[in-house]
Amino acid sequence: MENKNTLEKIFEIFKTEKGSLNLSKFVKTLNDFGILNDDPRLAPFLKRVKELQEKKQLNFEAFLSVLDPTIEPLIVKAFSGKLIIPSFKEFKKLVEEVFEDVRDCKDGKAADYIPQLARVDPDLWGLSVCTVDGQRFNLGDFEKIYTIQSTSKPFTYAMALDLYGSDYVQEYVSAEPSGEGFNEICLDDNNKPHNPMINAGAIVTSSLVKPELNLADRFEYMMNIFRKLSGGTYVGFNNSVYLSEKSVADRNFALGYYMKENDCFPKGSCLKTILEFYFQLCSIETKCSAHCIMAGTLANGGVCPITGEEVLDDVSVQHTLSLMLSCGMYDYSGQFAYKIGLPAKSGVSGSILVVIPNVMAICLYSPRLDKLGNSSRGLLFMEKLLKKVNLHQFDSDNNAAKIDPRGHISDFKDLEKNSILQAAMTGDLEMLRRHFSNGADIDVRNVIGQTILHIAVAEENMRIVKYLVDVCEMNLNAKDTWGETPLDIAEKRGNIEISTFLRCRMILKDLDSSQIAKNRQELAGLKEQRTSVGSEDSGVVTSF
């Protein structure tokens, strides 16, 4: 097995004294990488591993036997720092800070055109992140269920493109910002809706999807795709919202009739059915954590990050993202592209989906909307976040004031850090010497907080250990994430030579410091004596 070496090292890190895998520590570390327990890639592994653990000890061979072709590369990728956000815990912390920073924002007002939206607690504040590697975290009210409303629009558009191709779809819906409100009754010079992200365009797009099916089958078809987009997490339907949408729909009906008059729909379309279908798509419900995976599928070129299923064609996704960038945030789209520089789509419930292509998606949920219909707190959050991280599409790689959570290889510090870690792992003393004499900061840590001394001890490389202790004078008491010192690791390994060496050095250091303290005391005493003698002397001198 190609990954066997790495897996062996991983196993060593989590090995208990009895030689079996410390499952809880192992899973906790995977969670820190963003691989959550409900991840469909992890869940079957956890089940198998628990079964095995009950029956017998989980030694390395047993560990290998429960890995499958999905989880194995994921584990190797995570522990080799190769996931798209390698330091996921740190990134989460940064996002959490901004999340709390904007919590007090009470600007705007929740939508109230239907009672179901008016009744929602306007203080709700949720956030979810899903990377293209399926790394996830959720904050605040991420489990509160809401209807997806206009955020259904990019997905419906992508589905239409998938089914019929861009040429056909563009015959019906253009790809230009409208410069008008989202429910404006207007068409472009060719009598087509300006784009699929506003109501006119979305209603026409809905009319294109599977018109040969009856409404029930059409809805089921869409729901199945939404479920796949969300990796099988929560997608439901809110019938009360649907009924309300339908009963307060004068504007959408007016828009529909205006478009019907202008031949905007395919021949044979029934306006009432199209509008009902459109209201149903707005009334699909979900929660931040699931909604985010749908957007993560867009970030990942149409492949669901947690299931690996190809749900949408990458070209359809590319077209959809282009329009989200230029038209996704209603009349604020230009400003959003200017400040944030990312494809996004907002909905009247208060959700915003932000896609960072090939990296991740962020879903924000906060019901208070600004005058243009975008979640006020969601916008503020994005502005503040983008001041800290260089995820704006046109951010320069050299912007030192911002953090790149992708940990680009071009980042010199990272290169240096990786090389030091690598040298400690492979026992490359020459390389370590070179770094040390170049003045590099050798106090680097791997993903589980181990210093290079921990690593050298784990590798049982006495030469490196001696060098790090005697020449580099590394801290012998440094603790990793689990509170273990290098000596703890040496003892666990049963490496008497290294543990004796470390113990001796610790005693010497203690002696050293107590000797120094003693010397200091003696010195201080001597000084005191001398000053008192000095003052007598001076007294003599003055009296002279």
**Nearer of residues 335 and 410 to ligand GLN, judged by Cβ:** 335
Residues 291 and 233: their CA atoms lie apart, in Å, by 9
Question: Residue 239's Cα: distance from chain center in Å?
Answer: 32
Beta bridge partners of 286: 146
Q: How far is the CB of 374 from ligand GLN (least distance, A)?
A: 9
CB of 21 to ligand GLN, least distance (A): 48
Q: How far is the CB of 190 from ligand GLN (least distance, A)?
A: 23
Amino acid type, 263 = D
Q: Which is nearer to ligand GLN, 117 or 356 (CB)?
A: 117
- Among candidate residues 139, 14, 131, 136, the one with its CA nearest the CA of residue 407: 131
61 versus 250: smaller Cβ distance to ligand GLN: 250
Residue 117 CA: distances (Å) to CA of 83, 175, 328: 38, 30, 21
Going along 332-404, which residue ranges are E strands? 344-346, 351-356, 360-365, 368-369
Contact 380, 127 (CB under 8 A): no
**Of 83 and 282, CB closest to ligand GLN:** 282
Whether the CB-CB separation of 155 and 296 falls below 8 Å is answered with: no
Q: Under the rule (CB under 6 A), what is the footprint of ligand GLN?
A: 149-150, 182-183, 199, 245, 252, 282, 347-348, 373
CB of 203 to ligand GLN, least distance (A): 8
CB of 359 to ligand GLN, least distance (A): 26
- What is the closest distance, in whole angstroms, from the C-beta atom of residue 151 to ligand GLN in the complex? 7
Ramachandran angles phi, psi of 475, nearest 5°: -65, 120
Which CB, 42 or 160, lies closer to ligand GLN?
160
Nearer to ligand GLN, 244 or 390 (CB): 244
Min separation Cβ 349 and ligand GLN, Å: 7
Report the nearest approach of ligand GLN to the CB of residue 138 (Å): 23
Do the beta carbons of residue 15 and residue 9 sit within 8 Å?
no
Per-residue three-class SS string for 82-127: CCCCCCHHHHHHHHHHHHHHCCCCCCCEECCCCHHHHCCCCCCCEE
Question: Looking at beta carbons only, is 202 or 474 nearer to ligand GLN?
Answer: 202
Beta bridge partners of 488: none
Looking up tokens 């003698």 gives 533
Give me the helices (H) in 349-495, please: 376-388, 412-426, 429-437, 452-458, 462-466, 486-493
SS3 of residue 394 by DSSP: coil
Closest CA to 95 of 346, 392, 382, 344: 382
Identify which of residues 7 and 203 has a Cβ nearer to ligand GLN in the complex: 203
Please report how close the Cβ of residue 277 comes to ligand GLN at its closest, in angstroms: 12
Closest to ligand GLN by CB, 154 or 305? 154
